[in-house]
Structure 1
Amino acid sequence: MELQQTLEQCEQLIRDNSTSFYRAFSTLPSPQREAVFVIYAFCRLIDNSVDEPEQSPFTLEELEMQFKQLETAQGHFIWPSLRWLFACFPLSQEPFFRQMTGQRRDGILTHYNSMKELEEYCYLVAGTVGEMLLPVLHPSPDKEVVEAGIYLGKAMQVVNIIRDVGADMQLGRRYLPLDLMNKHHYTAAEFERREVNAKFIAMLNELTELADHWFALGLSNLNEYPAKSAFAVELAASYYRAIIDEVIRIKYNVYRRRAVVGALAKKRIYTSLKSKYNALSSEERHPDGEAVS
């Protein structure tokens, strides 16, 4: 299978499964754009092996085994795509293995007791994505940049948890930690009855505050990124943060409805952010009108 064809299949996977990420990272130049698509595709395969095992081409154990033998792995477009990725960018395999650990936890820990457990999970399944992406998006990420990338991934995962309360419940999972529920006097019985009341809303609002704090930390040093990478990262974060606005619009009824950011809202976000970056670019020009290199 030709490399171009395998990369196009990775792109198709992100296009089919995440319009927000696809729209955001399609703004990157090549080869960064294709690299992000490959990372997303592999993460999607890892996720599907746990959440949709009947439709998945691999079990999690098979993915892990093949990834350990990446140089010789065959039989699926992801393997030559990953070989290309690691040849082009200085990535470590460790964040990928840690994400597999996080996904494996979904089969073991289905009801969370503490915010500490939840934060660890958010790191394993989403903070690790920040670690994967940074060598693609930033030429020389230091410790602070890496930590910011991890925070951004964790923030997005908290948004996922808020949005998917009902869907996760159908899978037999409760990511809302018991200590948070107790703090707001929201009972397990109310959870089972899918009650949306003032206590439930207060609980989701506290999670939103945590996500917003992590978003702020994650976006705090975008000025150190190449401009096109910074734009793509902030656009993806903005699309994700807008999910919370949709949660509010549907009156927090995340048990029975999925909060989705519509095309018009995404267009407004894109246009606003594009104007911001165009203005920043103009401010960085020399008096003679030439851009600073």
Structure 2
Amino acid sequence: MSATTELRALRGRGVTGKPENKAAFLFLLPWFLGLFVITLGPMAASLFLSFTDYNLLQPARFSGLDNFTRVLGDERLHQSLKVTFTYVLVSVPLQLALALGLALLLDRGLRGLAFYRSAFYLPSLIGGSVAIAVLWRTVFGADGLFNQGLALIGIDGPGWISEPGTALGTLIVLNVWTFGSPMVIFLAGLRQIPRMYYEAASVDGASRSRQFRSVTLPLLTPIIFFNLVLQIIHAFQSFTQAFVVSSGTGGPADSTLFYSLYLYQRGFGAFDMGYASALAWLLLLIIGAFTAINFWASKYWVFYDD
């Protein structure tokens, strides 16, 4: 049999004719079901509903671009965008700075490194839970543990979660506290930097701070970029903390009205599902825009080995 004839025979049987390929498709089937039923299907339904007037009780009525034009005059939406942008632009840099600082400390080879690494990573696992949000509300209440500590040194603290000027700050602190995940990634990146670079810098007389600026930071920029993109996306999706701390209202005075919380209020509070779907797609566009800007700007400050 010639090579051409054999190739045609293989094409005729197709890749699915092989037993190992059938097994592979069988194992991938749950993932494909999840992709189409749990992810792509609801996304398509949400996109359709964003062009309708739908309240869960009556059939959806096509309304064109009305839901998207409503965002221009929605004052509470504008407030939620202001709160969310403030939360993202303040908490993410602080969180990454703290994570990098602790990673540098742990990279020095402390005794009991495995314990500290696990202890510092724990907040990332539980920081987004309802239990921690309830604890945070208790700690920063008017009679909470934080004010009790301030009272010991003669300071009468305010109700941190009940004052519009400080309520968002408590949620920013909570997000910064969940630094464990980026810290572990930073630590892994630091372990990949060859020691010879530091040895060469030491021979040239570079101080520790100069080695950090000239060696560590440039070689760590891909890891910083990776953590930055992930944490920005995560911060835009924050919901549980604001919902629990404000009892679902976004108060006081809408100072903790995250975008996702306002979306929830419109969809499941006012049953305005068409408008809520439009808000969801607007959030997708905002996150996509931030991600695209980060990728565009990365060519100016992210350095790779090649």
Greater relative contact order structure (CA < 8 Å, 6+ sep)? 2
State if a TM-score over 0.5 links the two structures: no
Q: Normalising to structure 2: TM-score of the pair?
A: 0.27
Structure number, greater radius of gyration: 2
Q: Normalising to structure 1: TM-score of the pair?
A: 0.28
